[in-house]
Amino acid sequence: MRPPSAAALKPTPHERMDPGTRHLARRAFLADQYRLTAAGTERARAAGLVNADWYKPPVARALMKTLLQRSDTGAIRDTVLWYALIVTSGVLAHFALGTAWAVPAFLLYGTLYCGPADSRWHECGHGTAFKTRWMNDALYQVASFQVLRRPTVWRWSHARHHTDTLVVGRDPEIAAQVPTRWSVVLGNIAGLAHVSGELRRLLLNVAGWLDAEEETFVPESERPKIAREARIWAAIYLCVFAACIALHSIVPLLYIGLPSLYGAWLYHFFGLTQHAGLPENVTDHRLNCRTVYMNPVFRFLYWNMNYHVEHHMFPMVPYHALPRLHAALRSEMPPPYPSTLAAYREIIPALVRQTRDPGYSVERPAATDCRGRAMSQWVAAGRLDDIDDEDVRRFDHGGRTFAVYRMGSEVYASDGLCTHEQAHLADGFLFDHVIECPKHNGRFDIRDGRPLGAPVCIALRTYPAKVEGGRIFIEI
């Protein structure tokens, strides 16, 4: 045998790194997975996570119709009250100028200016706050400015967030990426990360360009609108700067512009409760969203976005109907968090653990029946037509992988991986109700999972499956 060459014995660049540098390189590699233009996107697509079929509990049509009713009255009342609070705090801040009271007064003003603008931006973006369309659009534009989110870009960003929630390489709005980078988390809470990123992209938009990642979800036809909005915003900021120069004072900027920075902490405080620490790359909102009971003041400021599981499942339901939707779905949901504090008791330790262990995520308890027993659920697993007769297809759900088999009009389902080693049975060969593993030809009966000889000796777990209206459902 020839000895290995000197080149083969040479350490790779990775091996030459000292442990600290290697650790940083690994973190950079993991952070890169979130880029919408990186390999993570292709991995998400290959895993069937792009535009996947998400779990949705059944809701009676009659009930859903009542929940979907839009109304101007409540949203007008809430909006008038919100702006009255902003104006009042702004007047207080004005009278506090020149005293130490100016600091808390402006903090209050900025918090009211920017914090609730997040949920108003969000609800009006969905078009569900008001019944009247132009009211949604008008408040959407103003709230976008207050929270510093370019209106058209973020409308598309949020649509993607709903399609591929917490899918790495697809979702542009994953706030707490793993491993946890505390500089980013704390930078976000201080508003710095968001504001600096948005201002850089705003300048690109003023010039008529778009960030490369944003190009992946914004249609080409939207570019003129994005440039127009960016130029209007730039003109407003220039007016504010001009006022500062004319008055030899930073006060105009403290009222318009800077609140998007120093008032941002509130929406990050609310926003982290939505998904932080929960598993990525699953297709069930009960696993990757939180519903948190909040007090009435928080619910007003946050426009009921604390019912976040329900919102993700049914984004057409307006904010004022979310408590009723939550009540209707209680039996289908994991238990809600009793308070914001309770949510943070879970989030902070989870983020700390994810600093060192990127594979960790919080596991939500399953939905339970009235006796606290875990309930199984029928999950939609694609269309019958999508599987050829006597064939098998892979189906991923809730972080697990399954194999779905078709024999004529009959369907069967089992765990997706062979019980011998890690091989996907969906890559195997199906004949006469027998699936043959692609790796070592182990065979299972798909009707009950029986192993049919070496090298497999452990039974495959099977699941009830049925076809309704041309769609396959499996009970897991």
Name the site residues for ligand FES (rule: CB under 6 A): 418, 420-421, 423, 437, 439-440, 442, 455-456
Give 373 or 440: the residue with its C-beta nearer to ligand FES.
Answer: 440
| Distance in Å, CB of 47 to ligand FES, minimum | 20
Q: Could you give the C-alpha distances from 389 to 336, 411, 433, 458, in angstroms and in order?
A: 43, 10, 12, 27
The contacts of residue 3 (CB under 8 Å, 6+ apart) are none
Q: Does an H or E element contain 41, and which?
A: helix 39-46
Q: Could you give the C-alpha distances from 211 to 30, 44, 89, 152, 225, in angstroms and in order?
A: 21, 21, 36, 13, 15
Q: In 207-339, which ranges are continuous DSSP H helix?
A: 223-247, 251-255, 259-262, 265-275, 285-288, 296-302, 308-313, 322-329
- CA dist 34 and 32 (Å) reads 5
Give 210 or 437: the residue with its C-beta nearer to ligand FES.
Answer: 437
| Distance in Å, CB of 451 to ligand FES, minimum | 9
- CA dist 152 and 254 (Å) reads 26
| Distance in Å, CB of 362 to ligand FES, minimum | 31
| Distance in Å, CB of 423 to ligand FES, minimum | 4
| Distance in Å, CB of 419 to ligand FES, minimum | 8
Give 224 or 453: the residue with its C-beta nearer to ligand FES.
Answer: 453
Residues 144, 284, 288, 462: what is their CA dihedral angle, to the nearest 10 degrees? Answer: -170
| Distance in Å, CB of 461 to ligand FES, minimum | 14
Give 80 or 452: the residue with its C-beta nearer to ligand FES.
Answer: 452
Closest CA to 55 of 467, 367, 293: 367
Task: Give the residue closest to ligand FES by C-beta.
Answer: 442
| Distance in Å, CB of 430 to ligand FES, minimum | 14
Give 93 or 456: the residue with its C-beta nearer to ligand FES.
Answer: 456
Identify whether the C-beta of residue 437 lies closer than 8 Å to the C-beta of residue 450. Answer: no
- CA dist 278 and 25 (Å) reads 24
Give 14 or 461: the residue with its C-beta nearer to ligand FES.
Answer: 461
Give 308 or 443: the residue with its C-beta nearer to ligand FES.
Answer: 443
Q: Could you give the C-alpha distances from 387 to 221, 224, 280, in angstroms and in order?
A: 36, 43, 27
| Distance in Å, CB of 398 to ligand FES, minimum | 23
- CA dist 57 and 303 (Å) reads 23
Give 416 or 442: the residue with its C-beta nearer to ligand FES.
Answer: 442
